[in-house]
Amino acid sequence: MVLRNFNLRQSQTEHYTANTGLTLIGRCIKLSQLEALMPKRFQLHGITDTDLLKSYLGLISLGKSDFDAIENYRDDKFFQQALGIQRIPSSPSLRQRMDKDADKYRSVTDKAMIQFLAAAQAPVTPLWTGHAAMDMDVFPMDNSKTQKEGVSRTYKGHDGYAPMACYLGNEGWCLACELREGKQHGQKEFTHVLERVIPRARQLTHLPLLARLDSGHDALANRLYFHQEAVDYIIKWNPRKKDGAHWLAVAIGLGHWAHWANPRPGKRVATFTVYVEHGEHSFRRVMQVTERTIDKHGQAMLFPDVEAEGWWTSLEQADAAIIGLYRDHATSEQFHSEFKTDLDVERLPSGKFDTNDLVLACAAFAYNMLRLIGLVGLVGDHSPVRHPAKRRRVKTVLQELMYLAARVRERSRQLWLDFGKHCAAFEAFRRVYAHLAVP
């Protein structure tokens, strides 16, 4: 077929939108009871607190975190109608109001986010043990070459922030994403994080909880706290010093009580359990000792290389099962990348720490809304053609459902969205829209 030239024209009467997914976000926000949770309907220049928060939630749900991006939607009637906004704030108003009332907005956003997940009946798929996984971790955000409040050297070697995130279930629902200074150690004030996220998790599921943490949280205080709260855990052991030879000798001394495996010539692995007494408590630690006398390239080593790893746990499952359960914790690394890249919040937009903390809270809310939209609309027979998956990453949801184009029409006092004849995502969109119906 011959390549055709197109004439370009901008309609002065027809109204089109490239962001029909905002109608789904509007329904999600309605389910969250955001307006009812706001302490008071404060109004400045005709813009209420709820209008301000809705505007930013809509913006970040499109993968745009910068305050100036709101200027592209100030005259967009569909943006207002889809989100239920009376007036859209200007960029300076959005920034100044978020600076002024960051703490209040943050509290409301956190409550609304959990209320949304509960009202939308977000499924929490258990592990094979019957537990709901609760993965917590710190991840670095590069904000180098800026003078933002709280930016400092992270463990990755760049200047930025190190927020703490907590995810629930195999779906990865975000219970919290709290901003921290880059230099702050993950264990600092960690008990306060647990005090917030454990009640939120129990609002969403009646399943027993299994907390999975890396070696930065290997602290007696954590194990005691989990015991007190009846939360099971798997925490990577931090040996503080390399002593592989000692643990190899322990494994050899255990004889048949240790399980030995030879995955390849020149490599043997011992797995066993030790118990550590502390006062009236006895803590189980699964150990895995690996001895290599030949490297992976087949070269014999002059001296054996011995590596010891361990995992604290309150579970009674077999040693290999505990190690396998912890390895699934690595999935949460993908969720971190969805915040940083798909939602574009790695380089936070404000110079103020509290405002950036609020931005991250809004990003967590948007992440959960997009996660649910993807789960309902993009996993199943009626979804657009994609490879099979149990969940879709945020980028896929943005591409397939949030950035759908449609004609906006008003007829008989009703609003209509006319999708194209060949819109592959229409059935998926309609299914999500029906699922998010407000009772």
Token couple for 186: 């993950």
**Element spanning 363, H or E:** helix 353-377
Q: What is the pLDDT of residues 243-290, one digit of tens each?
A: 888 999 999 999 888 999 999 999 999 999 999 998 889 999 999 999
Query: Residues 18-43: pLDDT tens digits?
Result: 999 999 999 999 999 999 998 766 66
d(CA 35, CA 27): 13
Q: pLDDT-based confidence at 45, cuts 50/70/90? A: low
pLDDT confidence of residue 44: 66
Question: What are the distances in angstroms from CA 428 to CA 16, 113, 213, 321?
Answer: 20, 23, 36, 37
Residue 106 gets which letter from DSSP? H
More confident residue, 411 or 192: 192
Q: What is the pLDDT of residue 385?
A: 63
Question: Which of these, 146, 138, 143, 145, lies nearest to 162 by C-alpha position?
Answer: 138
Q: Tell me the C-alpha distance between 291 and 435, whole Å.
A: 54
Q: Look at residue 422 in the predicted model and tell me its pLDDT.
A: 86
Asked if residues 147 and 351 have their Cβ atoms less than 8 Å apart, the reply is yes
Report the C-alpha gap between 28 and 31 in whole angstroms: 5
Amino acid present at 68: D
pTM, two decimal places? 0.93
Looking at the DSSP bridge assignments, the partners of residue 410 are: 415
Per-residue model confidence (pLDDT) at position 15: 86
CA 131 – CA 347 distance, rounded (Å): 35
What's the pLDDT tens digit per position in 286-302? 999 999 999 888 899 88
For position 200, what pLDDT does the model report? 97
H helices of 205-328, in order, are 220-228, 244-254, 319-327
Phi-psi region of 322 (alpha: psi -120 to 50; beta: other; left: phi over 0): alpha
pLDDT band at 128 (very low <50, low <70, confident <90, very high): very high
Query: What's the pLDDT tens digit per position in 177-218?
Result: 999 999 999 999 999 999 999 999 999 999 999 999 999 999
Q: Which of 150, 166, 23, 153 has its CA nearest to residue 85?
A: 23
